[in-house]
Chains A and B, each alone.
Chain A
């Protein structure tokens, strides 16, 4: 178990890293005691998007599949949660709606992924097809304003979006405020640990091998298509988790959270953070969301211009990602200082540099 947590595919290991992890976790757990409820609600809002970023990191950084479809599955699960929650009534059934909507997103990813991966669509075409699907879904939902567009009592409402679904609840107890915050923190810890175990396991090694060289992985006897499909379904399912949580959090969802520029956001977070590592993505996505939300309060356009600039600057100056670069620098200093042994620093630095996609 510990071997899988500290395996070769993830940065950050040993006592120092996990102590830091526990300190951050402890700080996150006591945070609601000191902050007012408005800030706690905002924090839950940032945490919603982390799953989507981690999913993209898995697909793009580890699997080498640049999917522009994160908001596609976000939207499918978000709308599915709304439709299910309205149709099945509130209370504990909302938990079932959450689980079902993620399953729906994963089934959708399975179908789309099957056609693309078995169809030999890869590289840039993968991006173009997923982006097209995303924009078509946004366009489709945008024109569902009429009363004929409804599923049971749930009206899709076109561009204004769907509203009126219940938030997550257990019986009469609505999961909101700090309860929602704790659920989010717990989910993030579970997803993060599970993904670490996944990428360091046998399956993860095949996923990375496929990214490095699909032909070679195939020659070694692996059906790379199955592994790619698995990666795509998990990554998209995480986007679905974000979508369902988002709808539950705000009790509404609109097509604009699917189309452009929303579809570009996960790419910006992951590219800026460093796509080849889960921890870097976790930290970077959180920082960016925090910054973005702070600026959006004043002007959404300015915030988006900054996001675009960040993406451009990242690609031009630090194609591996800023957070990853800074993290590695700190780790290098730390190990060099402690062991006075420069050569031992980060044995897998070479792997990260040779990352082609």
Chain B
């Protein structure tokens, strides 16, 4: 019995980790900064490719993943400086600009790298409970997702940078008047968002086929999770992922992947209808 129970938890943890890791970067960039970053998937792709490239050069997997996340963060800072910076007051234009960027990046990658490169294979290691065997790496992903959530919470709620960042997102002019370097804070926040996207790509690189258009597979899930989470991303993203993961898991198990996706889409439309401000609005109201 406990084996079945663990199997359910395992499946849940798998979907949950996927949603959290792919949404964490976007939660900052879209949820907090209000930039509709359609190139989010391309930062994920960047992380994945750098990881695979480094591992093939002989770098140990964990170090390669860290370096990949850093590379994505640096790319994020550059993109912020060159493009996103101009669009903080025009969110819909930020969408178009980043979508253009996403097209440029994916198609250039197709030209330069080709349609697919050989993967590196999921790290070995599995354990058995009862009659079932489970892959250890999937649990590592779950642990990483939880760590990312805690890290985000601590960074934005407990540090000086976090306070300044939240002040800047709420009222940039006021924060600037009080001495916060808003330009730099925006750049760093975008960098963190891109870095987390890169981390997502790095962590999933061993488990999937790498193609330049892989970003598209993450984009819907990440946007949906952030939208369901609502305005307060630090509070909202985790419950949104729990909620969506349960729906997805139940539908996946009984009807297959595609119904899982369609069901999730319906759930999202329903939630926006009932709670236009997302799940976090309920939590914030309860908290008061």
Contact = CB atoms under 8 A, between A and B. Distances in A.
B174 interface: no
Nearest to B261: A136
Interface stretch (B64-72, B95-103, B153-161): B95-103
B220 interface: yes
Contacts of A261: 103, 106-107
A159 interface: no
Interface in A120-168: 120-121, 123-125, 127-129, 131-133, 135-136, 139-140, 143
Contact of B220 (A136, A305, A311, A357): A136
A310 interface: yes
Contact of B107 (A115, A120, A259, A301): A301
A203 interface: no
Contact of A308 (B86, B87, B100, B216): B100
Contacts of B216: 135, 259-260
Interface string B105-148: 11110110000000000000000000000000000000000000
A140 B87 CA distance: 34
A135 to B, nearest CB: 5
Interface in A52-85: 66
B100 A311 contact: yes
**Could you say which interface size class chain A belongs to?**
35 or more
Main SS at interface, chain A: helix
A331 interface: no
B218 to A, nearest CB: 11
Contacts of A312: 83, 97, 100-101, 104
Given A66-B92, A304-B107, 12 more contacts: A115-B269, A115-B273, A120-B276, A121-B272, A124-B95, A125-B272, A135-B216, A136-B220, A259-B216, A301-B111, A309-B104, A311-B97
26 contacts: A66-B95, A119-B272, A124-B95, A127-B36, A127-B95, A128-B227, A133-B265, A140-B258, A143-B258, A259-B216, A260-B213, A260-B216, A261-B107, A264-B103, A267-B96, A301-B107, A307-B103, A308-B101, A309-B100, A309-B104, A311-B99, A312-B97, A312-B104, A315-B96, A316-B83, A357-B92
Interface of B: 36, 83, 86-87, 90-93, 95-97, 99-108, 110-111, 213, 216, 219-220, 223-224, 227, 257-258, 261-262, 265, 268-269, 272-273, 276
